[in-house]
Structure 1
Amino acid sequence: MKKILLAIPLIFILLLLIGCEPTPTPTDFVAPSFSGETSITYEIGDELPDFTEYFTAVDLVDGDLSSSINFDDSEINYLVPGTYGLTLSVSDLSGNTSNLVINIYVVDTGNPVILGAIDITYEIGDAVPDYLLGVTAEDAVDGDLTNHIEVNSSNVNLEAEGLYNLVYTVRDGSNRTATVVVSVTVIDPNYVEPIDLLNIYYINDLHGAITYESEQMGLARIGNLVMDERSRNPENTLFIGGGDLLQGTLISNYFEGRSTVNALDAIGMDAFVLGNHEFDWGLSTVTRYRNPLYTDDQVDAPILGANVFLDGTETRPDFIDPYTIVQKGNIKVGIIGVMGYGLESSIAVSKIQGYHFASPEYWATFYAEYLRTVEQVDIVLVVLHDNGISTGFNQTMSQLSGNQKVDAVFNGHSHSSYSGYLTRTGSTSMPYIQSSSNGKNLGRVRLTLDSEGNITASSVTNLTASTDSRLNVANAEINSIIASYELQIEPLLTEVIMVSGAYMSQSALSFYMAKLMRVATGSDVAFQNLGGTRAPIMNAQNITVATLYQIFPFDNKIKTTYLTGAQINSFINSSGGAYHDIRDDMSFDDSTYYKVATNDYMFDQTYNPFISGIDSEDTGILIRDVLEQVLRNQAEVYDFFLLTNPVVLGSSYRKLDAFILKSEINQGLFI
Structure 2
Amino acid sequence: MTNKRNRFYTATVAALAVAALAVAPASAASPFSDVKEDHAHYEGITTLYAAGIVNGYPGGTFKPDTKVTRGQAAKMIAGALQLDTKNVTNPNFSDVPASNPYYGSIAALAELKVISGYDDDTFRPNQTITHGNLAKILGSIPTLPELESTQGYAEDASVTRGQLATFIAEALTKSGIETPEVPETPETPTEDGFTLSVLHVNDTHSHAENFPKLATAVKEQREAKENVLTLHAGDALTGTLYFNEFQGKADLAMINEIGFDAMVFGNHEFDLGSSPEGLQALADFVKGAKFPFVGANVDFSADDKFTGLFTDLVSSEPENGKIYNGIVKEINGEKVGIFGLTTEETKDISSPEKVTFSNYIDEAKKAVTAFEGMGVNKIIALTHIGYNDNPNVDNDILLAKNVPGIDVIVGAHDHKKLDEPFVVDTNTVGEEKDATLIVQANEYVKYLGTLDVTFDDNGIVTEYEGELIDLGEVAEEEALVKLLAPYKEKVDAANNKEIGVTLTEELANPRASEDSLESVRSNETALGNIITDGMLAKAQQYTDKTVVMALQNGGGIRAAIPAGNVTVGQVITVLPFGNTLALMDVTGAELKAAFEHSVRNAPQENGGFLHIAGAKLQYDSSKEAGARVVSIEYFDKTTNQYVAIEDGKTYTVATNAYTAGGGDGFEMFGKAYEEGRVTELGLSDWENFQEQLQSLKEVKTTTEGRIVDIAQQQ
Scaled by the length of structure 2, what TM-score is found?
0.55
User: What's the counterpart of residue 30 of structure 2?
Assistant: none
- SS of 2:415's equivalent in the other structure is coil
Larger helix share, 1 or 2: 2
Residues 526/359 of structure 1: CA separation in 2 closer, same or farther (3 Å cut): same
Matching residue's letter, 2:672: S
Amino acid paired to 2:440: Q
- 2:611 matched to which residue of 1? 579
Q: 3-state DSSP class of the match of 2:366? A: helix
The one-letter code matched in structure 2 to 1:519 is A
CA deviation vs aligned residue, 1:242-264 (integer Å, no higher than 9, x gap): 11111111012310111011101
Structure having the higher Rg: 1
Is residue 428–residue 456 contact of structure 1 (8 Å, CA) maintained in 2? no
Task: State whether structure 2 residue 615 is matched by structure 1 residue 597.
Answer: no
Q: Determine the C-alpha separation between the residues in 2 that align with 1:196 and 1:355.
A: 38
Q: Secondary structure at the match of 1:579?
A: strand
1:167-192 Cα offsets, whole Å, 9 max, x none, are xxxxxxxxxxxxxxxxxxxxxxxxxx
Deviations 1:494-513 (A, max 9, x none): 22334432232333222321
Contact 1:526 1:582 in 2 (8 A): yes
Report the alpha carbon displacement of residue 482 of structure 1 after superposing the two structures with TM.
1.8
Count of residue pairs the alignment pairs up:
431
> Retained in 2: the 8 A contact 1:500–1:541?
yes
Asked if structure 2 preserves the Cα contact closer than 8 Å seen for 1:220 and 1:479, the reply is yes
What is the CA–CA distance in structure 2 between the aligned matches of 1:414 and 1:426, rounded to whole Å?
A: 27
Contact 1:408 1:432 (8 Å CA) reproduced: yes
Q: Flag the 1:231–1:581 CA change in 2: closer, same or farther, 3 A.
A: same
Partner AA of 1:299 in structure 2? A
Task: Specify whether residues 456 and 589 from structure 1 end up closer, same or farther in structure 2 by C-alpha distance, changes over 3 A only.
Answer: closer
Name 1:663's counterpart in structure 2: 705
Residue of structure 2 in register with 1:535 after alignment: 559
Aligned to 1:381: 380
Partner of residue 293 from structure 2, selected from 292, 300, 303: 303
CA distance in 2, matches of 1:545, 1:202: 32
Asked whether the equivalents of residues 431 and 445 of structure 1 are also in contact (C-alpha less than 8 Å), the reply is no
Q: 1:337 — aligned with what?
A: 340
Question: Is the CA contact (8 Å cut-off) linking 2:217 and 2:474 kept in structure 1?
Answer: no
One-letter amino acid of the structure 1 residue matched with residue 376 of structure 2: V
The question of whether the paired residues in 1 share the 8 Å contact of 2:197 and 2:453 is answered with yes
More strand by share: 1
Aligned twin of 2:689: 627
Deviation at 1:601, TM superposition (A): 0.8
Q: Which of 180, 201, 204 is 1:203 aligned to? A: 201
Change (3 A) 1:619 1:588: farther
Question: Structure 1 residues 358, 501: CA separation in 2 closer, same or farther (over 3 Å shift)?
Answer: same
C-alpha distance 219-356 of structure 1, shift in aligned 2 (>3 A): same
Are residue 563 (structure 1) and residue 586 (structure 2) matched?
yes
Relative to 1, partners in 2 of residues 1:414 and 1:580: Cα closer, same or farther, differing over 3 Å? Answer: same
The correspondence of residues 494-533 of structure 1 with structure 2, limited to 5 A, is: 494-497=496-499, 498-506=501-509, 507=520, 508=525, 509-522=527-540, 523-533=547-557
Query: How far apart in 1 are the matches of 2:289 and 2:535?
Result: 38
| Structure 2 unaligned blocks of 5 or more | 1-190, 274-278, 311-321, 510-519, 541-546, 599-607, 616-634, 636-640
Paired residues for 1:140-219 under 5 Å: 196-211=194-209, 218-219=210-211
Letter in 2 for 1:532: G
2:325 alignment counterpart: 322
Q: Structure 1 CA distance, aligned partners of 2:671 and 2:700?
A: 30
What is the CA–CA distance in structure 2 between the aligned matches of 1:426 and 1:592, rounded to whole Å? 57
Q: Is the 8 A contact 2:217 2:471 kept in 1?
A: no
Note if contact 1:272-1:303 (Cα within 8 Å) is conserved in structure 2.
Answer: yes
- Cα distance, 1:541 vs structure 2: 5.0
Give distance in 2, aligned partners of 1:460 and 1:562.
52
Output the amino acid matched with 2:658. Y
Q: Secondary structure at the match of 1:278?
A: helix
Other structure's SS at 2:440 match: strand
1:616-656 deviation per Cα after TM superposition (whole angstroms, max 9, x unaligned): 3211001111112234455xx66xxx236xxxxxxxxxxxx
* 1:34-73 map, 5 Å: none
Deviations 1:560-599 (A, max 9, x none): 1223344434434542564111164632452443321000
Cα separation, partners in 2 of 1:462 and 1:232, compared to 1, 3 Å: closer
Which residue type is aligned with residue 275 of structure 1? G
Equivalent residue for 1:94? none
Q: Which amino acid aligns with 1:559?
A: A
TM-superposed deviation, 1:202: 1.2
Q: In 2, Cα distance between the equivalents of 1:383 and 1:501?
A: 45
Partner in structure 2 of residue 405 of structure 1: 405
Distance 1:475 1:195, change over 3 A: farther
Counterpart position of 1:182: none
Q: Secondary structure at the residue paired with 1:423?
A: strand
Deviation per residue, 1:39-76 (Å, 9 max, x gap) = xxxxxxxxxxxxxxxxxxxxxxxxxxxxxxxxxxxxxx
3-state SS of paired residue (1:243):
coil
2:244 is the alignment partner of 1:241: no
The amino acid of 2:680's aligned partner reads D
Q: Which amino acid aligns with 1:278?
A: E
Residue 704 of structure 2 aligns with an amino acid whose one-letter code is K
Counterpart residue identity of residue 344, structure 1: K
Task: Please tell me whether residue 225 in structure 1 is matched to residue 217 in structure 2.
Answer: yes
Does residue 260 in structure 1 map to residue 267 in structure 2? no
Q: Mark the CA change 1:562 to 1:304 in structure 2 (over 3 Å): closer, same or farther.
A: same
Give, in angstroms, the shift of residue 481 of structure 1.
1.7
Distance 1:493 1:342 in 2: 32
Larger relative contact order (C-alpha < 8 A, sep ≥ 6)? 2
Q: How far 1:548 sits from its partner (Å)?
A: 2.1
* Residues 559, 616 of structure 1: 8 Å contact kept: yes
| Aligned-residue offset at 1:517 | 0.5
SS at match of 1:381: strand
Distance 2:262 2:438 in 1: 17
Cα distance, 1:362 vs structure 2: 1.6
Q: Does the residue aligned with 1:417 lie in a helix, a strand or coil?
A: coil
Structure 2 match to 1:415? 415
Closer/same/farther in 2, CA of residues 457 and 427 from structure 1, 3 Å limit: farther
Identity, % of aligned positions = 22
User: Is the contact made by 1:516 and 1:626 (CA closer than 8 Å) also made in structure 2?
Assistant: yes
How far apart in 1 are the matches of 2:470 and 2:325?
Answer: 31
User: Could you give the per-residue CA deviations for residues 279-334 of structure 1, whole angstroms, max 9, x where no partner exists?
Assistant: 1123342232333xxxxxx2111122111125899x99734211122222122222
Question: 1 CA distance for matches of 2:347 and 2:332?
Answer: 39
596-605 vs 494-503, which moves further: 494-503
- Taking a change above 3 Å as real, the CA distance of residues 195 and 553 of structure 1, as seen in their structure-2 partners, is farther
CA contact (8 A) 1:569 1:588 kept: no
Q: 1:573 to 1:398 in 2, by over 3 A?
A: closer
Match of 1:290 in 2: 286
- Aligned-residue Cα RMSD (Å) equals 3.2
Distance in structure 1 (CA, Å) of the matches to 2:325 and 2:395: 17
1:364 alignment partner in structure 2: 364
Q: What is the CA–CA distance in structure 2 between the aligned matches of 1:573 and 1:267, rounded to whole Å?
A: 46
Q: Which amino acid in 2 is paired with 1:562? A: D
Distance across 2 between alignment mates of 1:621 and 1:385: 31
CA distance in 2, matches of 1:389, 1:577: 20
* 2-structure distance, mates of 1:232, 1:265: 21
Q: Distance in 2 between matches of 1:484 and 1:331?
A: 41
Once the two structures are overlaid, the 10-residue window that deviates more, 239-248 or 450-459, is 450-459
Whether the 8 Å contact between 1:308 and 1:316 is mirrored in structure 2 is no
* TM-score, length-scaled by structure 1: 0.59
With over 3 angstroms needed to count, the CA separation of the structure-2 counterparts of 1:530 and 1:311, relative to structure 1, is farther
Q: Give the residue type in structure 2 aligned to 1:323.
A: G
Residue 407 of structure 1: CA displacement? 1.1
Deviations 1:66-103 (A, max 9, x none): xxxxxxxxxxxxxxxxxxxxxxxxxxxxxxxxxxxxxx
Q: Which residue of 1 aligns with 2:463?
A: 457
CA distance in 1, matches of 2:442, 2:370: 31
Question: Could you tell me which amino acid in structure 2 is paired with residue 205 of structure 1?
Answer: D
**Partners of 2:396 and 2:325 in 1: CA distance:** 19
Of 432, 437, 451 in structure 2, the residue corresponding to residue 431 of structure 1 is 437
